[in-house]
Structure 1
Amino acid sequence: MATLQVSVNLASKGTISATINVPKIRVSHVSIPQLPFRGLVEELDNRNNQTVDKTTLIKEDAYYSSSIGTNIFTAHSINNNSDPLVISKLHSIMEAIADRVEMHKNIGVQRDNWNHLLLTSVNAITLAAATMTGIAAISTTLEPVVALKVSSTLLYLAATAILVVMNKIQPSQLAEEQRNAARLFKQLHGEIETKLALCKPTINDVNEAMDRVLALDRAYPLPLLGVMLEKFPQIVEPAVWWPKGNQRQIEGLGEKVKGNGWDTKLEEEMREIVEVLQRKDIPEYLRLSEKALNFNRFLAISGPLLTGIAALGSAFVGNTNGVWAEILGVMGGALASVVNTLEHGGQVGMVFEMYRGNAGFFKLMKETIESNIREKDTEKRENGELLKMKVALQLGRSLSELKHIAVLSSENKASKIEEFASKLF
């Protein structure tokens, strides 16, 4: 006990003394437990005072990622047997993927703006030149005729140069490439998150993720000079954005089921789906791609050709006895505006890239199924039930509809079935 003595001196009544006993307060050492490190995006939630398993912590963490653009709910599992270096490498790859998503989104918007702005500008230039040519044709004095002729000829030449560049790079097709790349990088980001949540990742997973990132970079390059995709290829082939020998698997889904979800019936069903994809879907979208490419090639040649002819006609307005120069100068510009609107306003290049990408999508599905069937050890395959569900969702069908297509294909080997495997596209 500590004693506190208080004295009060009153002039008239003397001194009053009081004693107050105050207990001593002992301050002991306060220890603050340190929070264990759980990764780059995890926090330890102690609000419910729940016991955490010593070997595995699975925590759902909702966060907003500005680079991905949506709220992503991730589940990460931390296993004491996991290699921390592998986890760190996968997180680094995810950060690089998120950055690529943002880059492709921004550049895709930029190139879509190129298409609209350049189309508007070149049509305005072409119609202005055609109007000047028409005015020069009805002018009676020499001075205005010369000024209008020179101006219209220069405008036509400028429109021709702009069209040559536009038709070479195909801004609408470039924008579609960047949209596809952003979507596929998002998909890869989600697959790595799933692998971190459900599996014990290894260095093979890191190598696979690196290969897929680099394959996407090659399939959808960001620069224009030197590495731009050929916009008018001689042979139309499906788009390929995955490394060779691709076989995506998800391991560690709990206890192993005998046969890993595979049986003879499922194998036969998957073989029939592959056959339908090979016979119907892939050739159909390659055929549509070739039609879009040929139409786009025709328009790409016609636009600059018409503006060049119009420039030639406008230069000879008033210098010939006939009216052919005036007709070429005015009609050439009008037709060029129509052709440019069809090509770039209709985004024919984007349509070609969309069909080519769809053919690549079916080719990837075909190779994924085949790679699983070729693997003799069913335990090393992707789970059969999971693969069947993924194929059904990607084709826009239910499981019963997927089975119906396989049965229909097997029963009509001689006569080709008319129904496609996919209902999504």
Structure 2
Amino acid sequence: MASLQTSTLIFSSSFSSSSCSSSRRSNINAAIHVPKLPRVRFAVPKTATKLVLEGLQLREPKHILDNDSYNNHSATPATPTAATTQLYAILEAVADRVEMHNNIREQRDNWNTLLLNSINMITLSASLMAGIAGTAAGAGVSVLALNISSTLLFSAASGMLLVMNKIQPSQLAEEQRNATRLFKQLQSQIQTMLALHDPTEQDVKDTMEKVLALDKAYPLPLLGAMLEKFPKKFEPAVWWPKNIQSQKPSKPNSQIGKINGWSAELEEEMREIIEVVKTKDIEDYERLGSLVLKINKILAISGPLLTGVAAIGSAFVGHGSASAIVAVAAGSLASAVNAFQHGGQIGMVFEMYRNCAGFFNKLEDTIQATLEEQDLEKRENGELFEMKVAMQLGRSSDQLRELASKSASSRLEGTSIDEFGCKLF
């Protein structure tokens, strides 16, 4: 190694000297002549060269192989399955629906505020004109302009009230609010599914059915797809795909011990919860929802009727004192009715009861479908299922067991789960 370094130094020095002398030879004739150095050859041992070459040959393929395998691993990640790709596509559609429902909810909430203020201002202005016309008519002044103006304003208020009562903007806003919440919930479920395990085709099918059920329960378009705002009978909201239940009645599982977190005691506890939900909570919300629906129907008819009577009365102001009184009184009552109905958002209250009743119906269907699966291994883990039911009812697992035991002993006469602290949202 030392001999190799020495030869390198000698060669570099001789090369620099020769290059320097050759560059100056053209301008200066030097008197000193540098003698040529003899060529010195160093014999490199063949053994060392052979070992070095063999080492390079041994190391290089391995190094190249490692780099290739690393590059291939980093450049080509694992190919996702078809189910995973489809579920990601559904996730994007769900996120888009969340944004759309939220935007439309803000728009329809603005509708309720703007229409309420506009109709009340029109009605009160027409009532004021009718009152002034009645006073002026008694003094012998012509009131034709005031009659025509008040009549037109009352007629416009009647038409706007008919449209507003038909679409119920406060109820539309509540529908979109519920849709936004439920789509966000579905979005979280899909993200959790993708994080925990690779989805299957059945997961994709179930998720798609949930999306379609939500689209049907809370439609985006207003014309042609709007839900009936004044149904003949109160019906709870349904935003989940109905499970196909078996015709045979389910029986308590008599297996001893826990299998997949399930036991005979836990099954009996879930059945008692179903009984409480069916006999008390759903009935209470149906009763309250039917009452609010009747009140909303009465108010929806009274508002346009009063403005119509006021329009007729204002047209005859000047032909008698009674017509002015009728126009002013009917207009004032119409403003009060409109403020109570749409300012108090009776349609939103009705939709809230519809959603609450639907929540308990969904809970009942979920528990019933789980208990009808006779193979305990195919069920969701029993302890996890109990915890989810308890969280949906806003209670702990111990409180849920206490509620089930009280229901089994006394059937909780006059008591509902809501009275025990149920939290829907």
Superposition TM-score, scaled by structure 1 size: 0.79
Q: State how far apart, in whole Å, the 2-side matches of 1:285 and 1:213 are.
A: 26
> Judging changes above 3 Å, is the alpha-carbon distance between structure 1 residues 357 and 246 closer, same or farther for their aligned structure 2 residues?
farther
2:283 counterpart residue number:
283
What is the match of residue 315 of structure 1?
A: 315
Give 1 or 2 for the bigger CA radius of gyration.
Answer: 2
Paired residue for 1:53?
none
- Residues 240-289 of structure 1: CA distance to partner in whole angstroms, max 9, x if unpaired? 01111179xxxxxxxxx961110011001111111100011111111111
Deviation at 1:416, TM superposition (A): 2.0
Supply the distance in 1 between the matched residues of 2:140 and 2:243 (Cα, whole angstroms).
72
In 2, the alpha carbon distance for the partners of 1:266 and 1:231 equals 41
2:149 aligned partner: 151
Structure 1 partner of 2:119: 122
In 2, are the aligned partners of 1:119 and 1:341 still within 8 Å (CA)? yes
Asked whether the equivalents of residues 281 and 416 of structure 2 are also in contact (C-alpha less than 8 Å), the reply is no
Shift, 1:199, TM fit? 2.7
User: Which residue is equivalent to 1:104?
Assistant: 101
The aligned residue for residue 325 of structure 2 is 327
- Higher mean alpha-carbon deviation, 29-38 vs 360-369, is at 29-38
The answer to whether the 8 A contact 2:84-2:198 is kept is: no
1:22 matched residue in structure 2: none
- Aligned-residue offset at 1:358: 0.5
Q: Which residue of 2 aligns with 1:424?
A: 423
Q: Give the total of aligned pairs.
A: 360
Match of 1:347 in 2: 345
How far apart are residue 129 of structure 1 and its match? 0.4
* Code of the aligned partner of 1:396: G
Query: Following the alignment from structure 1 to structure 2, what is the Cα–Cα distance between the partners of residues 276 and 173?
Result: 29
In the alignment, which residue of structure 1 is the partner of 2:184? 186
* 8 Å CA contact 1:302, 1:339 repeated in 2: yes
User: Secondary structure of 1:259's match?
Assistant: coil
Equivalence for 2:406: 408
Give the AA of the match of 2:128.
Answer: T
Deviations 1:47-83 (Å, cap 9, x if unpaired)?
Answer: xxxxxxxxxxxxxxxxxxxxxxxxxxxxxxx8x8xx6
In the TM superposition, 1:165-184 aligns within 5 A as 165-184=163-182
Percent identical among aligned pairs is 54
In the alignment, is the contact (CA less than 8 A) between 1:408 and 1:417 conserved in 2?
no
Indicate the larger mover: 133-142 or 355-364: 133-142
Verify: 1:274 aligned to 2:277, yes or no. no
Q: Which amino acid aligns with 2:343?
A: G
Which whole-Å CA distance do the structure 2 matches of 1:352 and 1:183 have between them?
Answer: 18
Q: Decide whether the 8 Å contact of 2:170 with 2:348 is kept in 1.
A: yes
Higher percent of residues as helix: 2
- Superposed displacement of residue 423, structure 1: 2.0
Aligned residue runs from structure 1 range 209-358, under 5 A: 209-245=207-243, 259-320=259-320, 323-358=321-356
Q: C-alpha displacement at 1:369, in angstroms?
A: 0.4
Give the deviation of 1:420 after TM superposition: 2.2
Distance in 2 (CA, whole Å) between partners of 1:169 and 1:390 is 37
SS at match of 1:33: helix
Change (3 A) 1:200 1:172: same
TM-score (norm 2): 0.79
- C-alpha distance 355-36 of structure 1, shift in aligned 2 (>3 A): farther
Q: 1:264 to 1:37 in 2, by over 3 A?
A: farther
| In 2: Cα distance, 1:419 partner to 1:179 partner | 26
In 1: Cα distance, 2:323 partner to 2:422 partner: 53
3-state SS of 1:240 partner: coil
Take 1:417 and 1:306, find their aligned partners in 2: how far apart are those partners? Answer: 41
Separation (CA, whole Å) in 2 of partners of 1:283 and 1:258:
34
SS class of match (1:261) = coil
Provide the residue aligned with 1:67 in structure 2.
none
Which residues of structure 1 form unaligned runs of 5+? 15-27, 39-77, 248-256
Q: CA deviation at 1:33?
A: 2.1
**Which of 74, 88, 91 is 1:91 aligned to?**
88
Q: Would you identify which runs of 4 or more consecutive aligned residues in structure 1 move more than 4 Å?
A: 1-9, 28-32, 140-144
**Higher RCO structure, 1 or 2 (CA under 8 Å, sep 6+):** 2
Higher strand share: 1
